[in-house]
Amino acid sequence: MPELLTAARARGSELRIWSAGTSTGEEAYSLAIVCSELLRDHAGDVRVRIFATDADEQAIAFGRRGVYARDALGAVPAEVLERHFVHAGDGFEISKRIRTMMIFGQHDLSRRAPLPRIDLCVCRNLLSGLTDQLQKRALQLFAFALRDDGYLILGEAESAGALSDDFEVVDPALAIYRRRTNAELRRLNERLTIDAAETASANEDIETLNEEMQTTNEELAALNEELRATVEELNASNDELEARGDDLERLAEAREEQLGRIGSQRTALVKVLEAIAGSVVIVRVSDGAIMHAGTPLEVSDFAAMRGGWSSGSTVTSPKGTFTLTSAEVQVDGYLVFRLRRID
C-alpha cells in the first residue's frame, strides 16, 4: 500500500482501489482505514477513492450505511475505533473522513464493464464460487481495469492462472499478483510470435515427415503386393510338389508291384530249377541274356548262341556237344531249355 500511495503521489493523481464482491463493506472500509493511517500526516497529498461493489443490492445498502454492531468490531484496536468510528447506539458508525473515500455500487462481474484506472483490486474468496468460464471473465475484467503494475489480491485458495500472461505472481502464499505492463505484454507477444513461427516450422517438418511416411507406406504396400505374389507362387509350387509327390508315390507303388512280379517270377524260376535238377538253360527274352546254365555247362559256353535261341540248337564245348529242347515249364518273359548230351 505505501508503494501504491507513493506512485499515485508521483503521477499527481488519485489512488483508486476496487473492492469487488465487498458484501456488507467491511473489507472496503478496512482498506480505507489503512490508507487513512498511512496518510495521517499527509492527508492532502493523495486523494483516495475506493469502489465497493457487489451483486447483492441489500448487502450494498447495508455497507453504505456504515453502521456495525460492537461485536463485529471486537478485533479492531481501540485507537483505530477512536480515530475512525463514532458511537451510534449500541454500535459504531464509520467516520465522515472515511466515508469521503467510499463509493458503493451494485456491480455484477458476469454482466457489467470493469472500472477504469484501478491501482489495487481486491477480490477475496469470490472466484472460488464461480464457474471456470465466469472466473476467466472476472480475471479479464480485473486485467482491463488495472493500470500497468497494478495489483490484484485474491483469496488464498484462488489463482489468476487462467490469465497467467496478464498477471505475474508477487506472493503466492497471499495470492498477490501484479498486472504486467504493456511493454512486457508486447515482449510476451513477440515471444509468442516467435513460438508461433517455430511451431509453423515444426508443422512444416511434420508435414514433410508425413509425406515421407506416405511414400514409405506406398513402398511397403508395393512390397506387400510382391510378397503376396511370391506367396501365391510358393503355394503354386507347393501344389506342384504335392502333385509330383503323388506321382512319385504312384510310381513307387508301381515299382513295388513290378518288384513283386519279379519276385514271383524268380520264385517260379527257382521252382523250375528245383524241378529239373540243374540240366537246364534259362534265357531272358527281352535281351537274350543267359540267366542260368545247368551242370555241366556254364554261361560262357553259350557265348556264340546269344540272340539265336531255339529248340534243337546245338551247343559244342570242351565239355561235350549238347542239344536244346523246350522244357514243359513255362515262365513269362523267359525261355527254358533242357540240355541233352549227344556225343
Cell 515427415 -> residue: 209
pLDDT tier for residue 185 given thresholds of 50, 70 and 90: low
pLDDT tier for residue 307 given thresholds of 50, 70 and 90: low
Least confident of 7-21, 162-176, 211-225, 309-323: 309-323
Cβ within 8 Å of residue 161, ≥6 positions away: none
Average pLDDT taken over every residue of the chain: 83
Record the cell numbers describing residue 101, joined without a space.
Answer: 473515500
C-alpha 294/C-alpha 26 separation (Å) is 146
Record the cell numbers describing residue 329, joined without a space.
Answer: 515249364
SS3 state of residue 290: strand
C-alpha 33/C-alpha 156 separation (Å) is 22
Beta bridge partners of 292: 282
Least confident of 35-39, 120-124, 154-158, 299-303: 299-303
Give the per-residue pLDDT at 329.
Answer: 58
Ramachandran quadrant class, 196 (left: phi over 0; alpha: psi -120 to 50; beta: rest)? alpha
Sign of CA dihedral 181, 183, 184, 190: positive
User: Parallel, antiparallel, or unpaired for β 118-123 and 334-341?
Assistant: unpaired
Give the per-residue pLDDT at 241.
Answer: 82
User: Are the C-beta atoms of residues 18 and 120 closer than 8 Å to each other?
Assistant: yes
Q: Of 339, 333, 328, give the one whose Cα is nearest residue 301.
A: 339
Report how far apart the first and last C-alpha atoms of the chain are (Å, whole number). 160
C-alpha 307/C-alpha 309 separation (Å) is 6
Mean pLDDT of 98-104: 95
Give 143: exposed, middle or buried? Use CB within 10 Å, 0-12, 13-18, 19+.
buried
3-state SS, one letter per residue, for 20-52: ECCCCCHHHHHHHHHHHHHCCCCCCCCCEEEEE
pLDDT tens for each residue of 313-329: 777 777 778 787 876 55
Cα distances (Å, whole numbers) of residue 252 to 74, 245, 257: 118, 10, 8
Give the per-residue pLDDT at 272.
Answer: 61
| HSE-up (13 A, CA, CB side) for residue 184 | 11
Domains of the chain: 2-187 (3.40.50.150), 269-341 (3.30.450)
pLDDT tier for residue 192 given thresholds of 50, 70 and 90: low
For residue 320, the surrounding DSSP H or E stretch is: strand 320-326
Asked if the peptide bond before residue 2 counts as cis, ω within 30 degrees of 0, the response is no
Mean pLDDT of 46-68: 95
C-alpha 317/C-alpha 297 separation (Å) is 8
Give 22: exposed, middle or buried? Use CB within 10 Å, 0-12, 13-18, 19+.
buried
pLDDT tens for each residue of 146-173: 998 899 999 999 998 888 888 999 999 9
Least confident of 47-56, 200-209, 216-225, 278-287: 278-287
Provide φ and ψ at 23, rounded to 5°: 60, -120
